Amino acid sequence: MHIPLWTPADQSQHSMSVNDTKTTIGATTLQKLFNSYPHITMLFASHIHNSYTGKWGTTPFMITGDSGASTYLGMTNGTVTTPVHRDFIKVTLTDKKVTFAVVSYPAVANNYDFTTPPL
Tens digit of each residue's pLDDT (9 = 90 or more) over 8-17: 766 667 788 8
Q: What CA–CA distance (Å, rounded) separates 119 from 61?
A: 21
Which range among 16-20, 39-43, 53-57, 68-72 shows the weakest confidence by mean pLDDT?
68-72
pTM: 0.69
Higher pLDDT, 10 or 100: 100
Percent of the chain scoring above 70 in pLDDT:
61
pLDDT digits (tens, 9 = 90+) for 55-80: 999 999 988 766 555 555 544 454 54
Q: What is the pLDDT of residue 85?
A: 59
Closest CA to 43 of 29, 66, 26, 60: 60
Q: Provide the b/e sequence for 7-38 (b: ≥16 CB within 10 Å).
A: beeebeebbbeeeeeeeeeebeebbeebeeee
